[in-house]
C-alpha cells in the first residue's frame, strides 16, 4: 500500500481544522509567513491560541502521525460574505502542548510582536501550506457529526474542529 493511500484506507483518520478569524492576520499573509520559515528551515511551528487541545485528541493525532498516516492541518478564512472561504493544508509532523518543546528559530517573524509565543496553548509542526481547491474543501466532514465542514463554518463561529476527508476527493 502506498503511503498516499493511507488516508483513503482509513476513513476514521482525523485532521485538525482551524478557522483564521478575519480580524486576525489575512490567511494569505499567515500562510506566506509560515511558508517562508518552512522553506528556509525545513519546517515551521504554528502556535494555536484559544482553548488547549485535550490530551486525548493530542494523543489520537500523534498516534496517526507516528503510524505514518498522513495527518493534515487545514486552515481557512471567510473572504466574502455568504460563506466563501479560502483554505490551505499542510502535513503535520508533530504536536506539542509545551512551548519549551518548540524551536524558536522555527517561528514566523511576527509571533513575538503579536504575542503568539505567550498566547499559544499548543503547537503544531508542519511543512509548507498549499492552497486547496473547493472540491477538497467541500469534501471535509466534521469528525463527530459527519456534517460538511463548509456548512458548519458558514453557520457558526467555531474556530477549531476535527475533520475527515471524503474518500472520493483524494
Residue in the structure block whose three cell numbers are 509571533: 111
Distance CA 69, CA 12 (A): 11
Q: Among the ranges 10-24, 70-84, 93-107, which has the highest mean pLDDT value?
A: 93-107
Distance CA 82, CA 155 (A): 10
CA atoms within 13 A on the CB side of 18: 23
Q: What is the Cα–Cα distance from 137 to 150, expressed in whole angstroms? A: 7
Cα torsion 47, 63, 56, 158 to 10°: value is: 50
The contacts of residue 73 (CB under 8 Å, 6+ apart) are 15, 16, 17, 18, 46, 89, 90, 91, 92, 124, 126
Mean pLDDT of 137-147: 88
For residue 12, name the pLDDT band (cuts at 50, 70, 90).
Answer: confident
Find the mean pLDDT for residues 36-42.
Answer: 98
Percent of the chain with pLDDT over 70: 90
Q: Under CATH, which number does the domain 3-169 receive?
A: 2.30.130
Residue percentage of the chain with pLDDT more than 90 = 58
pLDDT of residue 2: 41
Query: Is residue 160 predicted with pLDDT exceeding 90?
Result: no
Number of residues in the chain: 170
Whether the per-residue pLDDT at 10 is higher than 60: the answer is no
Strands (E), 4-99: 15-19, 44-48, 72-80, 84-96
- What pLDDT does residue 7 have? 38
Domain ranges of the chain: 3-169
Instruction: Say what the pTM is.
Output: 0.87
How many helices (H) does the chain have, and how many strands (E)?
A: 6, 8
With cut-offs at 50, 70 and 90, classify the pLDDT of residue 40.
very high
In the chain, how long is the greatest CA-to-CA distance?
A: 45
Amino acid at each position: 500500500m502506498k503511503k498516499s493511500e493511507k488516508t483513503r484506507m482509513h476513513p476514521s483518520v482525523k485532521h485538525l481544522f482551524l478557522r483564521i478569524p478575519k480580524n486576525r492576520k489575512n490567511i494569505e499573509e499567515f500562510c506566506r509567513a509560515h511558508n517562508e520559515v518552512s522553506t528556509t528551515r525545513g519546517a515551521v511551528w504554528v502556535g494555536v491560541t484559544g482553548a488547549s487541545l485535550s490530551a486525548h485528541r493530542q494523543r489520537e493525532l500523534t498516534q496517526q502521525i507516528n503510524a505514518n498516516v498522513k495527518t493534515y492541518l487545514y486552515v481557512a478564512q471567510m473572504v466574502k460574505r455568504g460563506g466563501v472561504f479560502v483554505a490551505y493544508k499542510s502535513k503535520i509532523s508533530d504536536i506539542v502542548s509545551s512551548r519549551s518543546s518548540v524551536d524558536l528559530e522555527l517561528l514566523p517573524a511576527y509571533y513575538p510582536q503579536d504575542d503568539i509565543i505567550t498566547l499559544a496553548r499548543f503547537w503544531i509542526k508542519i511543512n509548507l501550506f498549499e492552497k486547496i481547491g473547493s472540491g477538497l474543501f467541500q469534501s471535509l466532514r466534521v469528525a463527530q457529526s459527519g456534517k460538511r465542514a463548509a456548512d458548519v463554518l458558514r453557520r457558526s463561529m467555531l474556530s477549531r474542529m476535527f475533520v475527515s476527508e471524503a474518500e472520493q476527493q483524494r
